[in-house]
Structure 1
Amino acid sequence: MDFFEVINKRRSIRKFKPTPVARENIIKILDAANWAPSALNLQPWEFLVVTGDKKNLLGNNYGKIVDNYTKDWDEAPDKAFMPRREFMQFAQIYGGAPVIIIVLVAAHADPVYQKALLESASAAMENMLLAATALGLGGCWMTGPLEGETYLRDVLEISSDREIVAITPIGYPEVIPNPRPRLDPALTQKVRWLS
């Protein structure tokens, strides 16, 4: 797949086939993440690859978060990017993905330095999602589960000197959503040319 085709085909996948993902493909995805640009070339990211019982524990907890978050969606359906019941099903099993990857960085007291670490890890996360797409896999950049950060730290044994940046399920897409329209697709409002 051509690079720009990969970018245009990447979607937030929320429903996965139960097909296992080969370890070699997970390594390829993580290698792509590891080649991301980073501030001062610190390459500060770390990755947790979660499967099996631990993955199920994460789903149970995220299901509770989503249940609370969406409790009034029946009264305010305009908030819903997907029906509440579908969102709940996704959360409880991370869409049925066989693998979940969590991106971490070191926690730093200096907010400027911390911002650089988070931005670097975000570049790694994007590389990961593009690599998954190129391999016929899918993911979904998620921060919602971080509402249960204390639980995540306990179950995954993440020390307080690490910050959790984002989470993505990884698997073969069962449903690939249509592309969502780009805001300002002609880039007439988001871009200013200066000279």
Structure 2
Amino acid sequence: MDFYEVIHSRRAIRKYKADMVPRETILKILDAANWAPSGMNMQQWEFIVVSGEKKKEMGESYGRFAEVYTADWEDAARKAAFLQFARSFGGAPIIVVALTRGSKDETTRKMHLESVSAAFENLLLAACAEGLGSCWMTGPLRDEASIRRILEIPEDREIVALTPIGYPDMKAEPPARLDPELKNKVRWVD
């Protein structure tokens, strides 16, 4: 797939086939993440690939939050779909969790978060190029304490984001771009 085609075709996927993704493919995607630019070339990202019982525990955690989050939703079908997604991460066979080193210095912390975000974007684009779906998620971090406990994440690591990874079992339409001609989002300065 052409680079720009990958960028334009990547979508947030919220329903996956149960088929396991081969380890070699996961490593290929993580290698793409590992080639991201990073502040001071620290390459300060770490990834946890979660499946099986630990993935189920993460779904239980996110499901509890989702029940509270959707409590006042009037659209029953939308609520049920969201709860199903939250409890199973859309049925994806794996979840990839991105971590970085923590820092009390706000400038360093920001550099770490930006670097891991660049790596995470590479991961999402590589997954798309491999015919896989993903969905950049931070919602499950509302119960970060449970995720830390489930995955035994030390306190000196910060969770940046996570994504389910798997073969898509849905077709996501491209959302409209805000300011597609870039008239308001770009300012030229001479």
TM-score range, shorter chain: over 0.9
- Which consecutive unaligned segments of at least 5 residues does structure 1 have? none
2:17 aligned residue? 17
- Distance between the aligned counterparts of 2:125 and 2:118, measured in 1? 11
1:48 aligned residue? 48
Q: Provide TM-score, normalisation by structure 2.
A: 0.98
2:86 aligned residue? 91
Identity %: 56
Q: Provide TM-score, normalisation by structure 1.
A: 0.95
- Which consecutive unaligned segments of at least 5 residues does structure 2 have? none
**Secondary structure, counterpart of 1:67 in structure 2:** helix
Instruction: Output the amino acid matched with 2:3.
Output: F
- Distance between the aligned counterparts of 2:113 and 2:131, measured in 1? 27
**Secondary structure, counterpart of 1:112 in structure 2:** helix
- Distance between the aligned counterparts of 1:96 and 1:185, measured in 2? 33
1:151 aligned residue? 146
1:59 aligned residue? 59
1:126 aligned residue? 121
Instruction: Output the amino acid matched with 1:43.
Output: Q
2:95 aligned residue? 100
**Secondary structure, counterpart of 1:83 in structure 2:** helix
Aligned-residue RMSD, C-alpha: 1.2
After superposition, give the CA deviation of every residue in 1:117-145 in whole Å (9 maximum; x if it has no partner).
Answer: 00000000000000000000010000000
Instruction: Output the amino acid matched with 1:127.
Output: N
The yes-or-no answer on 1:117 pairing with 2:106 is: no
Q: Which runs of 4+ in 1 moved over 3 A?
A: none
2:7 aligned residue? 7
Aligned residues: 190
2:133 aligned residue? 138
